[in-house]
Amino acid sequence: MSTLDKKGLWSHLLITFGITYAIEGLIILKGFRVTGIPAFAGQIVVAAVMWVPAVATLITVKFITREGLAIARIRIGKLKPYLEAALIIPLCFLVIYGLTWLFGLAHPDWELASLRKTMADAGAPSNLPFSTPVLLLILLGASLLVTPFMNALFGFGEELGWRGYLLPKLMPLGKTRAYLLLGILWGLWHAPLVAVGFNYPGYPVLGILGMSALTTALSIYINEMTLRYQSSILAGWIHGVFNSQGYGIWRILFPDANPFLGGFTGLIGLAVFSALGFWRMRSPNPVQIPLPKVQQVKALDDPH
């Protein structure tokens, strides 16, 4: 089993967190907040920041460790896991919000009154161009067939760093500790935005803890899929599918969900995503391509 590459790890983390916190800190000081409809310029900056982990990976492997990009497993691979994620993640969201509704933690806004109010507060016309049922169908269809591809482009920017570089670097710690540490790091990376309203509005400190719990739970499934199919591109796709569901129709339809109890950010979401990850961990392992020789680690903790 390989030893921990502390030089590569610390270099990557310092670059990733340093650049991200500097950029997001600057726009926050200039007044950017993640409430209502955030300022468009700020949204562009935040989207661009999703590529910081990828930039950190390129700088680290090119100028610091000089190990090359082979470790990042930039390959597409088979279609099957992409289809699995495209189907199973929306089903998870259906279960999450079904349980949220069943337990009385939120109620569907069938008339989209909250969306209309948000648009009106932002100065946009509140008269939607379609009837509410048609608009809901359009939003659902877009979240399943269109926005995953758009979100995956930005998701890959993150995942080239998290799952492409950091995950194999952390695996000498063993699967449990590697998964836990990566999930926490991924959550803390979002801290500046969480502090100004992202996912847990009104909870700048507890929200960071909640975000770390969410990313840790979701990481189990993404980590397993990345290692099993040896593809950081697949990780980017899963990230994109998740974002398409999490920040699309469900949040519009259930705007009053308590972020710590219902919805995908709450306890119900954590339970469902954890169950998904553990289910994937227990299934047969179709590993096809080994890690690069210089990075042979105890990557799977699996007898298959």
**CA–CA dist 165, 293 (Å, integer):** 15
Q: Using one digit for the tens of pLDDT, what is the confidence trace for 269-294? A: 999 999 999 999 998 765 544 444 44
The amino acid sitting at 228 is R
Q: Give me the pLDDT at residue 126, please.
A: 62
Q: Are the CB atoms for 240 and 154 separated by under 8 Å?
A: yes
Q: Please give the average per-residue pLDDT across 85-105, as a whole number.
A: 98
Q: What is the DSSP letter of 171?
A: G
- The domains of the chain are located at 6-295
What does the buried/exposed string (b/e) look like for 66-99 if buried means 16 or more CB atoms within 10 Å of the residue's CB? ebebebbbeeebeeebbeebbeebbebbebbbeb
- Answer for the pair 157, 53: CB distance below 8 angstroms, yes or no: yes
Q: Which DSSP symbol is given to 278?
A: H
Contacts of 133 (CB under 8 A, 6+ apart): none
pLDDT surpasses 50 at 87: yes
Say how many C-beta atoms besides its own lie within 10 A of residue 196's C-beta: 19
CB 8 within 8 A of CB 69: no
Tokens in use for 225?
A: 């899929």
Average pLDDT, the chain: 91
pLDDT at 296 over 60: no
User: Residue 302 pLDDT more than 50?
Assistant: no
Interval 18-57: pLDDT, tens: 999 999 999 999 999 998 778 889 999 999 999 999 999 9
List pLDDT tens digits, range 204-258: 999 999 999 999 999 999 999 999 999 999 999 999 999 999 999 999 999 999 9
Confidence of residue 2 (pLDDT cuts 50, 70, 90): low
DSSP for 68-98, written as a single string: -GGGG------SHHHHHHHHHHHHHHHHHHH
